[in-house]
Amino acid sequence: MAASVELKKIRKSYGDVEVIHGIDLMIEPGEFTVFVGPSGCGKSTLLRMIAGLEPITGGDMLIEGDRMNEVPAAKRGIAMVFQSYALYPHMSVYKNLSFGLETARAPKEEIERKVKRAAEILQIEPLLQRKPKALSGGQRQRVAIGRAITREPRLFLFDEPLSNLDAELRVQMRVEIAKLHNDLGNTMIYVTHDQIEAMTMADKIVVLSAGHIEQAGPPLELYNNPKNLFVAGFIGSPKMNFLKAKVEGQDAGSAKLAVAGSSLTFDRKVNASQGDEVTFGVRPEHITITEGSGKHFSTVTVDLVEHLGGQTIIYTTTPDGTAMTLALEGQREVPLGSQIETYIDTKRCHVFNAAGDVV
């Protein structure tokens, strides 16, 4: 069972304060959509409006084409996994899983069958008779997901379900949720402020900021072609380098930028006039120090080197005093304080105008 979700000019106000400013979004059946954005940008609010836990101030919310604004939460065919898990502490795991079905007065065999199936999927069968307090964080998380599964919803909602788990478990559960999505094939909407979770799990990422959508699309699309400074800075780790630049020259098929103390020629036109102040962006992993692997970029001073084993992160300063980070494959020995030459591929560089939009 998979449903499409459509948001049309969705708004939300608390009193006089509008926190969601007209969101348009189409989520295809079976899609795994991740809402990502900084704290307070309205991810939870948006999710809770879809769930029916928060009234929608304006616009339309459609599931499978049916308007849902006034439909009570229980009748929307959704299930939600809360950040706090919200397990019923006085009920056994079995009762937690069956509560919704019992409320709906489902036949006993059906309840048993569905609870058993959910428990199997999540491998929590040995825990069914325990109370939530006797479970570890990861087990609670599974029960919370199991509770969602037993409802057999057409739409799963997750609000930062992994943020209470330690790093290792988070990675493990991330994989399991992605697997669950593959197995069940339901439409899922997942809220997180962790861009790595977003990148690894999503079919579609929706980057939110201050109550509106900055960009929506497949993870690599956002990574490769961020529409603006916000998305460019938010997606990717370590963060994209932003350097002050100035348009020096422009002709039909190329542009010339003054950046980091050198002059850089682009093989494409930049949508700005000569003399404009712009921001030049390049990801740390797209800078190299090997001659011949791209255009010569800048001579930088090494401030700090971090060895991650598979990757070496180098923190440097450009001749005009701006910080720039490099992420090199493998293990590199670079002396602190030394000057190194850097090279880039201009096709993987981004230029943003004063308003922050890509040009």
Ligand X SMILES: Nc1ncnc2c1ncn2[C@@H]1O[C@H](COP(=O)(O)OP(=O)(O)OP(=O)(O)O)[C@@H](O)[C@H]1O
Binding site for ligand X (CB under 6 A): 14, 19, 37, 39-45, 193
CB of 52 to another protein, least distance (A): 8
* Residue 255 CA: distances (Å) to CA of 119, 157, 247, 262, 282: 60, 46, 8, 14, 16
**Number of C-alpha atoms within 13 angstroms, CB side, residue 26?**
2
The rounded radius of gyration (Å) of the Cα atoms in the chain is 24
Q: Does 327 bind another protein (CB under 8 A)?
A: no
Residues 25-44 that bind Mg ion (CB under 5 A): 44
Residue 142 vs 350, nearer CB to another protein: 142
Between the alpha carbon of residue 118 and those of residues 122, 173, 292, the distances in Å are 6, 16, 55
Q: Which is nearer to Mg ion, 44 or 195 (CB)?
A: 44
Stretch that binds another protein, among 84-92, 216-224, 247-255, 337-345 (CB under 8 A): 84-92
| 151 touches another protein (CB under 8 A) | yes
Task: Write the CA distances from 326 to 241, 296, 332, integer angstroms.
Answer: 9, 15, 12
Give the nearer residue to ligand X in terms of CB position, either 170 or 350. 170
Q: How far is the CB of 105 from another protein (least distance, A)?
A: 10
Distance CA 64, CA 67 (A): 9
Q: Report if residue 146 touches another protein, rule: CB under 8 A.
A: no
Q: Is 100 an interacting residue with respect to another protein (CB under 8 A)?
A: yes
Measured distance CA(283)–CA(312) in Å, rounded? 14
Q: Does 305 bind another protein (CB under 8 A)?
A: no
Does 104 participate in binding another protein (rule CB under 8 A)?
yes
Q: Which of 47, 68, 78, 358 binds another protein (CB under 8 A)?
A: 78
Tokens of 121: 């999927």
- Residue 38: is the preceding peptide bond cis (ω within 30°)? no
Binding site for another protein (CB under 8 A): 51-53, 72-75, 78-80, 82, 84, 86, 88-90, 99-100, 103-104, 133, 147, 151
